[in-house]
Amino acid sequence: MSAWRQLTHGLRGLTRRTAVDRDVRDEVDHYLEQAVAALVARGVPPEEARRTVRLELGTAALVCEQARDYGWDRLVGAALGDLRYALRQLRATPGFTAVVVLTLALGIGATTAIFSAVNPILFEPLPYPQPAGLAMISDFGPAGLPQDVTFGTFLELVERSRSFEAMAVVKPWQPTMVADLEPERLTGQRVSAGYFRALGVPPMLGRDFQPSDDRLDGPRVVILSHALWTRRLGADAATVGREVTLDDRSFLVIGVMPPGFENVLAASAEVWAPLQYSTSLMPDGREWGHHLKMIGRLRPNAGLGQGRRELDAIARDPRPEFPRVPWASLQQGLVVSSLQHEVTRAVRPALLAMLGAVLLVLGIACVNVTNLLLARGVRRRGEFAMRAALGAGRARLTRQVLTESVLLAAIGGALGMLVAEAGVRALVALSPPGLPRVGAIRLDGTVFAFGLAVTTVIGVLVGAIPAGHASRGDLQAALQQGSRRSAGGHQLTRGALVVAEVALALVLLVSAGLLLRSIGRLFAVDAGFDASRLLTMQVQGSGRRLDTDAARYRFFSQALDEVRRLPGVTAAALTSQLPLSGDMDGYGVHLEAERELNDVSSALRYAVTPSYLETMRIPLRRGRVLDARDIAGAPRAALINEALAKRLFRDRDPIGQPLRFGPDEGPPYTIVGVTGNVKQTSLAIQNEDAIYVAVPQWHWVDNVMSLVIRTQGDAAALAPAARQAIWSVDKNQAIVRVATMDSLLARSEADRRFALILFEAFGLVALVLAATGIYGVLSGSVSERTREIGVRAALGASRAAILTLVARQALTLTGLGMLVGLTGAFVASEAIVTLLFGVSRLDPVTYGAVVALLLTVAILASAIPAWRAARVDPAITLRAE
């Protein structure tokens, strides 16, 4: 009841102020009349009675003032009053308001957008039940780096481990779905039966994989993603139990995953089938290939440390009932890390660097706004002094200033959300292909809450210093301030703000500069082939008609011939893997003489058609290229790259040496030539060992090959014709990843480029903000010192001397800021060191260029105020008092 009355009375107080005020007034009047009447009744003359009452009880207005000062609505009313006043103030200075609001909108918007990307990727747990219990398990490769596990290792660990309740292995799978339209190559995964149980997400429709599905020659069953089910099958619940055609074979659909299911190991996967590997583990089978990603779910009471210790103990304790092969002996132990960490490891440095960069921008924006508010506070000093003289307390003045800054921040924040919305779209569009959990980047409740929190903190932060200045001032001095005689202590504060601004901008610009130089260095790296006018596409040779090696080879050869016949094609070739495309396909290699050694290292395998080197323009260093001689049944020939030649033979001649490569069957390869090194993974990575063999001389014919076409004109323009040429051979084969080599090259460095674009954008914003900040402070200080300058001029100071006076102030502040900033940049560059390539994080060129740039900007920003100061007319200034 009383809460209800509080509410209704309070609301009435807010909405019907005049009626409520009249009630109070009536009550007070009545009270005082009664008091007078009482005195009159005791015989006091009316005039005397009224005087007594006024003396003892106060005037009606005073009593009303006291009586009205009750209730929560009073506080709200006062706050609304502050707000209305603040709005009026802001409307009165539209230029100032616009600059502040835009600055804040940029800062808050950019920060919110970056946060929306960083939060789901780095901080939010993975979208599975009990995500902390999910681990990723890897083997150690020859170089001591983690590598994928083998099926044999997986089987042994499943049998022997106790701290994991579920384990699963997956490998990529790209089946082609042929429907009425063009064949569509899907991204999918082959998984062991327990995959979805390990993740903890069951299918929405139908059933999960059972162990009985996952055996050699088991049933052909698939589970579909919700997106694929909706896109290709019309979201029909009756799909479960029907068959779909993948790679010319029919698969029974047994389940559909729920719409929100996020598959962090392969975000674009839309179809899953059982792995169906043989448990008999023949040493030369695929079961011992390092190509499976392995995840495990820990038992609820087992931590990551326990899982790690247990698997390590198992790895170092081989048992006869679980035979191992030399290249999966687990002698170096196993790597057990949290799945979350593994999924985000590659992008973590870039994202953290971006978060740091955007916080710098936000910091600069705040410093700028604080500066502007301070300058405005100085102009309004007379107003505040007047209010204080009329009885406004310090708290009241502080509240007014804070209301204004929070209001500014709120408007800036609201606009900032629009900026963030656009920013998130740009981020997703620009994001490098390897960015995990892109789907989770959006503006949601968490992000809005973050934006709100940032806005509030900023509102208070940027208002705090001006509020302190406004309420502190000496009344007497301030009221006389019409003459602007006093240049206050706020000069120091504002100087400090400029120093901070220059320092922050320098940190950001140095980071951006280092990244820019890295990208420049990177693209100057020789990829080992000529990327210009080179069109690439991946062709699939799948389906029942292409079931044999011979049939696949025939299809690929015919397709290649058709492409070669196209006008505008100067050369064309096929390769099993394409440089800088994300392909990664290596096999164990060793000299025939060292066959018995357990030390196995791997080399990249390129199964190519003879004209590959010529098409790619990869130089031949010695020996001969692969040619028409190297067919099935002929002596096996191999080309090795310089890196491998150097590692295996040092100064000896490798030509004619026998070499074991890949599965241990048949005769060894003979090295017939040495080629130049080619960058496979990334321009930034050291040369990797590589071996080229002719397609018919490899142990099998791959069913996915990349076509490379050297063109006379624009490479991209040839794509439709090339596609038609291939389809003229077999129209059921999917063609994907059509791209020019130039674009692949650019994309291979997408992470760095992404970071660079953001840093450049932020750096530019920081530069503009710093310039306006320096300008704002100097022009403010010049107009405050007009009188002083006038006096100097009157006393004979030359224009040059006055110019120097102002410029010296600018340069002192900038110089101090740079000193602080250089220290900051020195520390901050440590954070982006993994993104750098070929430049030291202390690269003097970058630091020098940034210092020069900032100095130039500082000089330009101080030029206008200095010029104005030099033109001060002493007669006018001095008379102005």
Partner 1 sequence: MDDPTTDVIQGTLDMLILKTLSLEPMHGFGIARRIEQISRGVFKVNPGSLLTAFQRLERDGLLDAEWRQTEKSRRAKFYTLSRAGRKRLEADTADWTRRAAAVARLLKAEA
**Taking CA 839 as the corner, what is the angle to CA 833 and CA 841, rounded to the nearest 5 degrees?**
45
**Binding stretches for partner 1 (CB under 8 A):** 1-2, 5-6, 9-10, 23-24, 26-28, 30-35, 38, 57-58, 62-63, 65-67, 69-71
- The Cα–Cα gap between 281 and 211 comes to 17
Q: Is the Cβ of residue 70 or residue 123 nearer to partner 1 in the bound state? A: 70
Closest to partner 1 by CB, 55 or 795: 55
**Single-letter code of the amino acid located at 350:** A
How far apart CA 534 and CA 569 sit, in angstroms, is 10
Q: Closest approach of Cβ 19 to partner 1, in Å?
A: 12
What does each C-alpha distance from 83 to 414, 454, 472, 501, 576 come to in angstroms?
A: 17, 20, 22, 30, 69
Of 40 and 764, which has the nearer Cβ to partner 1?
A: 40
Inter-axis angle of helices 750-784 and 844-870, to 10 degrees? 30
The rounded distance, in Å, linking the Cα atoms of 633 and 646 is 29
Give me the least distance between CB of 368 and partner 1, in Å please. 46
Render the burial of 728-761: b for 16+ CB within 10 Å, e for the rest.
ebbebbbbbbbbbbeebbebbbebbbbbbebbeb
Residues with Cβ within 8 Å of residue 460, at least 6 apart in sequence:
402, 405, 406
| Nearest approach, Cβ of residue 41 and partner 1 (Å) | 11
Specify whether the CB–CB gap between 167 and 161 falls below 8 A. yes
Q: Are residues 113 and 419 in contact, defined by beta-carbon separation less than 8 angstroms?
A: yes
What is the rounded CA–CA span in Å between residue 698 and residue 555? 17
CB 806 within 8 A of CB 862: yes
The shares of helix, strand and coil residues in the chain, as percent rounded to the nearest 5, are 55, 15, 30
**Nearest distance from residue 66's CB to partner 1, in Å?**
3
Tell me whether residue 28 or residue 854 sits nearer to partner 1 (CB atom): 28
Beta bridge partners, 201, equal none
Question: Least distance to partner 1 from the beta carbon of 388, Å?
Answer: 25
Between 64 and 853, CB nearer to partner 1 = 64
Alpha helices per DSSP H over 325-393: 339-344, 348-379, 381-389
CA 226, CA 255: separation in Å to the nearest integer? 10
Tokens found for residue 802: 């006055």
CB of 874 to partner 1, least distance (A): 57
Q: Which is nearer to partner 1, 71 or 663 (CB)?
A: 71
CB nearer to partner 1: give 9 or 380: 9
Three-class HEC string of 252-276 = EEEEECCCCCCCCCCCCCCEEEECC
Q: Which is nearer to partner 1, 3 or 492 (CB)?
A: 3
* Cα angle 228-234-237, degrees, rounded to a multiple of 5: 90
Pick 2 or 483: Cβ nearer partner 1: 2
The CB-of-84 to partner 1 minimum distance in angstroms stands at: 24
- Structure tokens given for 323: 């035979």
Quickly tell me which residue has 């009224």 as its tokens.
50
Find the shortest distance in angstroms from Cβ 28 to partner 1.
7
DSSP category for residue 110: H
Q: Residue 35 or 878: which CB sits closer to partner 1? A: 35
Hey, which bits of 154-225 come out as E strands? 164-173, 176-177, 184-185, 188-191, 205-206, 221-224
Distance between CA atoms of residues 622 and 607, nearest Å: 20
Contact between 604 and 576 under an 8 Å Cβ cutoff? The reply is no
Q: How far is the CB of 123 from partner 1 (least distance, A)?
A: 46
Nearer to partner 1, 32 or 101 (CB): 32
> Cα angle at 583 between 232 and 592, to 5 degrees?
135
Pairing, β 134-140 against β 293-298:
antiparallel
Q: Please, what is the minimum distance in Å from the beta carbon of residue 24 to partner 1?
A: 7
What minimum distance in Å lies between the beta carbon of 17 and partner 1? 15
Q: Which is nearer to partner 1, 32 or 420 (CB)?
A: 32
Minimum CB distance to partner 1 smaller for 34 or for 250: 34
Closest CB 44 distance from partner 1, rounded Å: 15
Q: Which is nearer to partner 1, 14 or 750 (CB)?
A: 14
Residue closest to 852 by CA, chosen among 518, 610, 513: 513
Q: Between 33 and 714, whose beta carbon lies closer to partner 1?
A: 33
- Minimum CB–partner distance for residue 47 and partner 1 (Å): 20
Phi (first) and psi of residue 393, to 5 degrees: -80, 170
Q: How far apart are CA 269 and CA 220, in angstroms?
A: 18
Of 6 and 212, CB closest to partner 1: 6
Closer residue to partner 1 (CB): 54 or 249 = 54
Nearest to 104 by CA among 423, 407, 467: 407
CB 67 to partner 1: min, Å: 4
Q: Considering only CA atoms, which of 681, 701, 700, 697 is closest in space to residue 689?
A: 681
Choice between 14 and 352, CB closer to partner 1: 14
Among residues 826, 806, 805, 808, the alpha carbon closest in space to that of 816 is found at: 808
Say which DSSP state 788 is in. Answer: H
Residue 5 CB, nearest distance to partner 1 (Å)?
5
Pair 167, 336: CB distance under 8 Å: no
CB of 10 to partner 1, least distance (A): 8
Half-sphere exposure of 867 (CA within 13 A, CB side): 7
Pick from 648, 671, 646: which is nearest to 658 by CA?
671
- Amino acid at position 853, single letter: L
Tell the smallest beta-carbon distance from residue 75 to partner 1 (Å): 14
Minimum CB–partner distance for residue 42 and partner 1 (Å): 12
Can you read off the two tokens belonging to residue 307? 């899982």
